[in-house]
Amino acid sequence: MKRTLLMIAATAALLFGLTAFAPMAEATPHKFELALDDQYHDGKITDSGEDSADEWKFTITKPGYLKVYVMSTGLSCGEIKIRNEERTSVLASDSLSRGSENNLAVKWWGMRVMPGTFWFDVYAINWGDGPYKIRAAFSENDTGEPEPNNSFTQAAAFAPNVQMNGQICINDMYDYYKITVPAEQEVWVYLYTNAPQAELRIFDSDFIRVTEQKITRNSGDYASEYTWKDTLKAGSYYVQVAGEAGNNYTAYESWLGTGVYRLKWGGSLMPVKVSALSLSRTYGTVAAGKTLALSYTASPSDAWNTAVKWSSSNRSVAKVTSYGVVKGIKPGTAVIKAVTADGSNIAASCTVTVKPGKGKITAATGGKKSLTVTWKKQAGVKGYQLQYSRDRKFRNNTVKAVKASKTAAKIKKLAKKKTYYVRLRSYAVINGTTYYGSWSNTAKAKTK
């Protein structure tokens, strides 16, 4: 009996030792696709710890607003984390509420997001595993923010007295804008936002902080606003709008400081921009090879920069200099446009018709009762007219039509041993209207 008891004890000890030192099964996460269909989907945590998380993957293709709901139907203690696509950064985290089948607990998170792929992790802690449901919905909302503007080197140009619309997102918490103060003066910067917490910072051109202001939304308020004022010297500055990370907010619009904002700035001596622009003419005609000068008037009279940039819609027809001088190249039409250079983008235009240039006869020689005439070819013309007469002033003249492809013509059946005068012009058809170039200089030759 004693020996039997010893054998049983030895066997038990062996079994206990094998169990104690047996390797435990390694916890593994469960991966799912999270549909943004605003419908609940079932989930269940079977083991505690972040290594046993349910990992829900979803992709956002446009800027907007994301809502995620977690309904605890048995999960008594848990955590969530939102990660980037590579799972190298935690963008947000929070705890889950206790719940049961008879006492459902629903928690929701609302947040602004920029395009990207994300993971939404759900896991239990302290043996709080159990079932849950998850639901996600997304609505597009592009504020028109000039992306990318997420660093000093990417700062978006920001003109005075112009409203800039933007949004602070969990994956884009910092927006940068560059302003230029033309002269020392009092400058103001105005920020309006529905983010629960935001930060307004201003840096000089050496990236040294000029000011920092934290803006906190009062409980129950849906928006906050703040105006900063101070005297700045002439130069470039950077305005940064940022979310206040590290705090949880579930009221109204945002979580972790995300939200939309409106931003403006100006100053006591800010330059006046052009508000109206007109040209000396709205229609004009110029011959190929010739020029037409355009002038402009900008108002108001105290505008600080009245310079304009000139352009041509068809440079093969007409070109324009930086001073508004239009040169005809070949027959056709071109729209000459002037746009203000001060950032106001006020524009005015003139439609220019280019008609054929003056003809040029290169030679006229007499033959037996004939004349042979050669001339310089002109681009873009429909054809040529040769006018000849025995009268120097071309009284009692005759006109001979020549195709545009020709640069020479022979005039026959003329009187013998007589002097003839000849000149040439070209013509073109533009928008249904025939335009003639000027007559060339007169050439003469004597027939044989």
The per-residue pLDDT for range 124-176, each reduced to its tens digit, is 888 778 888 999 999 999 899 999 999 999 999 998 888 999 999 989 989 99
Distance, CA of 204 to CA of 71 (rounded, Å): 48
Least confident of 96-100, 124-128, 318-322, 369-373: 96-100
51 DSSP assignment: G
Cα gap 436→6, rounded to integer Å: 127
What is the per-residue pLDDT for 103? 74
Tens digits of residue pLDDT in 316-368:
999 999 999 999 999 999 999 999 998 889 999 999 999 999 999 999 999 99
- Residue with the bigger pLDDT between 365 and 197: it is 365
Residue 138 backbone dihedrals phi, psi, to 5 degrees? -135, 135
Specify the pairing of strand 224-232 against strand 185-193: antiparallel
Reported pTM: 0.58
Contact 61, 41 (CB under 8 A): no
Domains along the chain with CATH numbers: 30-140 (2.60.120.380), 152-267 (2.60.120.380), 276-355 (2.60.40.1080), 361-446 (2.60.40.10)
Pick from 144, 203, 151, 143: which is nearest to 176 by CA? 151
Q: Most confidently modeled of 93-102, 261-270, 426-435?
A: 426-435
The confidence score (pLDDT) of residue 256 equals: 55
pLDDT at 43 over 50: yes
pLDDT reported for residue 15:
41
What pLDDT digit, counting tens, does each position of 223-248 carry? 788 999 999 999 999 999 998 754 44
- CB neighbour class for 145 (10 Å; exposed up to 12, middle 13-18, buried from 19): buried
